[in-house]
Structure 1
Amino acid sequence: MGLDTKPLSAMHGTSSYSLDDFPVPSGREEIWRFTPLSRLRGLHDGTAAVSGNVVVEVSAPPDVTVETVGRDDPRLGRAYVPADRVSAQAYSSFEKATVITVPQEVVASAETVITLRGDGQGVSYGHIVISVEPMAEAVVVLDHQGSAVYADNVEFVVGDGATLKIVSLQDWADDAVHVSHHHARLGKDATFKSFVVTLGGDLVRLAPSVAYTGRGADADLSGLYFVDAGQHIEHRLLVDHSVPDCRSNVDYRGALQGEEAHAVWIGDVVIRVEATGTDTYELNRNLLLTDGARADSVPNLEILTGEVAGAGHASASGRLDDEHTFYLQARGIPYDEARRLVIRGFFAQLIQKIEVEEIRDRVLAAVEAELAR
């Protein structure tokens, strides 16, 4: 496949299935300026040949279809065209893909859990398609574990009137590198809810995006991340409002502690001329718990029509509010416990949105473990 359509906007450049259409990044490009390219282990410049394996295991209820397919399956790449060089490298390099299908009007009887487990330091590539057909409903968990240098693309196809709820957990070992693009294509009156939790890994860069194909669709994108010393955690979101009367809400929150802990959050929302009646809001908040931690937060809105229901964004990064901890201490709570309570409260509203109780408890335990350090 060759070069795709013209660039979406000033926020979004070339889209293509061909690796040749993307020059090797130098780090000066806008989409790469925050990413430490030297830590990508060659994923960005073509030197990362396949040398390892990420095992994909799927646990699904009987009313959900699970398939392992080859590169020639026509369902692959229909919803998403790679938008950067690593994404194109992953698309051109995977051998087998996993396709999950929820049939029309089926309400899945249980969540589908996709476990991706790295078996070491080797390089590997992957591709997943999750298709929820019209009027169907499903909850899907993507659980990333182990050690790997891994790049992949995940396509979410949500049919007319369908509902898909996603939980993506990046719980990699400390030495892992993961670069991934998650793209959702929403039909008329479709509902898409995504919750991203990023905890582990040496470098994790996720790029969630949403495109609309019919009126009345609704996307809710939430994220939680906890960044430790030396970690680089990056989330780059793009919501493309291209049809009327659709909604989107973005809420990502992170905490950082330790020397050279680095979080990057980029939130791009485009409202095209034809997307009248759009209602959108995006928020990013970061807590800097120690000296030496750094958070870069860049919300962007590109509005090409004056007929919107609502459009806004906000970003805040700072230390714990001394008034909050003082209030608790004044009631006899020791400082360390007061600090933990404030941070729990910072994350609590988000964590309650996680659909799967087991994952919700696991995230709570992970946050507690981070706070105990």
Structure 2
Amino acid sequence: MTEHSHGGWGKAPVQTRSERFASTSHDAFPEVTGLEAEWKLSPVERVRALIDGELDGAPYAILYPESAGTTVEWIDRTSELIGTAGTPEERAAANAWSSFEKALHIHLDGDAETLTLTRTGLGDAPRAAHTVITAATGATGLVVLDNRGPAQLSENLEIVLDDDAHITVVSVQQWDDPALHLASQFARVGRGATLKHIVVSLGGSVVRVNPSAHLAGEGAEAELLGVYFADAGQHLEQRVYVHHEAPHTRSRVTYKGALNGDGARTVWVGDVLIGPGATGTDTYEQNRNLVLSDGTRADSIPNLEIETGDIEGAGHASATGRFDDEQLFYLQARGISEDEARRLVVLGFLSEIVQKIGEPVLEARLLAALEAELVASR
């Protein structure tokens, strides 16, 4: 709380992304009205139970194969691993943080095999969850968090990469249609380490995933990717934050989405902060949305803050539009029907992200799911 220049006490506006209030206590945040900058584009009343309600924080059923180089275990909320990647910056994440009993810890060491962890039986009651992924020095690997079935879930995910670790984390939201899901995903990337983080949101009534990456060590790199398809009445939201703290760090953010059907809504907000000590930073963020029908809305807001003049490069881009008529004409001129041409254009637009996962079986499944979305939307 600081005094305004015109007198009187009140909340001073946040001047930079890094100054945003953070706490693990739900009650430390004011009540959400839907007018706040971080909530004004969200359907607050549809997820009110996750923001303010009582959440079941007990451990839940998970499915995963034994994979060399990985360990999976439940740890107590008092573990020193909790809170090493980030702290909630909004009331729903703090509610989840206050409510979980044990956290799921996934550890990667050496050249770890691909680990796919599946959650399918979370049920319809409001629930909290907390997951921590740690990668030892020099570790490599791919972790897939595969979410399906019914859910009303508010959760936090922490990802911590020690020096020279190189891992990929994929979060797949393929929930049942009525599902509600709020997630804050924090990553801390050490010296010379590389994180590829991919968000895939297809199923669910309201799905809001907020990834943040703190490039804390010199030479750290992060590639944050996302793909989503919103159909009638569905709200899919992503708020991405990249904080360049150390020198000579690099980031790339690319999110792509499609919207079809009355009331289909997507929100993408991208914040990149280049701190005063992040000399030599190289960063670029972009969001592209393909509108397939009337009655949809895509909000796309890129933001860039630079606190040092000594950088390699920084930029951002955003675009929302309908089909490229020239592409359709080109395909139809070669004997391809209009429906097939549209299918090829949409899949070509979205598959760029899916094909960067690096796990062929999952890539094929997600491409089939995207194609099913297109068929259902005709």
Distance in structure 2 (CA, Å) of the matches to 1:8 and 1:368: 43
Alignment-mate amino acid for residue 68 of structure 2: P
Query: What does residue 21 of structure 2 align with?
Result: 14
RMSD value, Cα: 1.6
Query: What does residue 324 of structure 1 align with?
Result: 327
Contact kept, 8 Å, 1:165 with 1:192, in 2: the verdict is yes
Q: Does 2:37 correspond to 1:30? A: yes
Q: 1:98 aligns with which of 104, 129, 141?
A: 104
Aligned pair count reads 363
Alignment of 1:36-185 (within 5 A): 36-44=43-51, 46-50=52-56, 54-103=60-109, 106-108=110-112, 110-185=113-188
CA change 1:49–1:253 in 2 (3 A) is same
Contact kept, 8 Å, 1:53 with 1:123, in 2: the verdict is no
Distance in structure 1 (CA, Å) of the matches to 2:173 and 2:96: 18
Percent of matched pairs sharing the same residue? 47
Distance in structure 2 (CA, Å) of the matches to 1:180 and 1:8: 25
CA change 1:60–1:235 in 2 (3 A) is farther
Alignment-mate amino acid for residue 53 of structure 2: T
CA change 1:70–1:51 in 2 (3 A) is closer
Cα offsets for 1:56-111 (capped at 9, x unmatched): 333341321211122222211222111111111111101121111123xx111x21
Distance in structure 2 (CA, Å) of the matches to 1:200 and 1:72: 33
Task: Decide which moves more: 300-309 or 56-65.
Answer: 56-65
Cα offsets for 1:210-245 (capped at 9, x unmatched): 002211011001110000000000000000111110
Distance in structure 1 (CA, Å) of the matches to 2:106 and 2:285: 29
Q: CA deviation at 1:53?
A: 7.8
Query: What does residue 223 of structure 1 align with?
Result: 226
Distance in structure 2 (CA, Å) of the matches to 1:52 and 1:127: 10
Q: 1:203 aligns with which of 202, 206, 212?
A: 206
Distance in structure 1 (CA, Å) of the matches to 2:247 and 2:327: 42
CA change 1:158–1:252 in 2 (3 A) is same
Q: Which runs of 5+ in 1 are unaligned?
A: 1-6
Q: CA deviation at 1:372?
A: 1.1
CA change 1:240–1:60 in 2 (3 A) is farther
Q: 1:358 aligns with which of 357, 361, 365?
A: 361
Alignment-mate amino acid for residue 101 of structure 2: E
TM-score, length-scaled by structure 1: 0.94
Distance in structure 2 (CA, Å) of the matches to 1:233 and 1:198: 7
Contact kept, 8 Å, 1:256 with 1:262, in 2: the verdict is yes
TM-score, length-scaled by structure 2: 0.93
Q: CA deviation at 1:199?
A: 0.1
Q: CA deviation at 1:10?
A: 4.2
CA change 1:11–1:244 in 2 (3 A) is closer
Query: What does residue 4 of structure 1 align with?
Result: none
Contact kept, 8 Å, 2:252 with 2:285, in 1: the verdict is yes
Task: Decide which moves more: 332-341 or 12-21.
Answer: 12-21
Contact kept, 8 Å, 2:58 with 2:102, in 1: the verdict is no
SS at match of 1:30: coil
Q: Which runs of 5+ in 2 are unaligned?
A: 1-13
Distance in structure 2 (CA, Å) of the matches to 1:52 and 1:291: 43
Cα offsets for 1:8-43 (capped at 9, x unmatched): 924761111222221111111100010011110411
SS at match of 1:284: strand
Distance in structure 2 (CA, Å) of the matches to 1:94 and 1:341: 44
Contact kept, 8 Å, 1:11 with 1:268, in 2: the verdict is no
Q: Does 2:270 correspond to 1:263? A: no
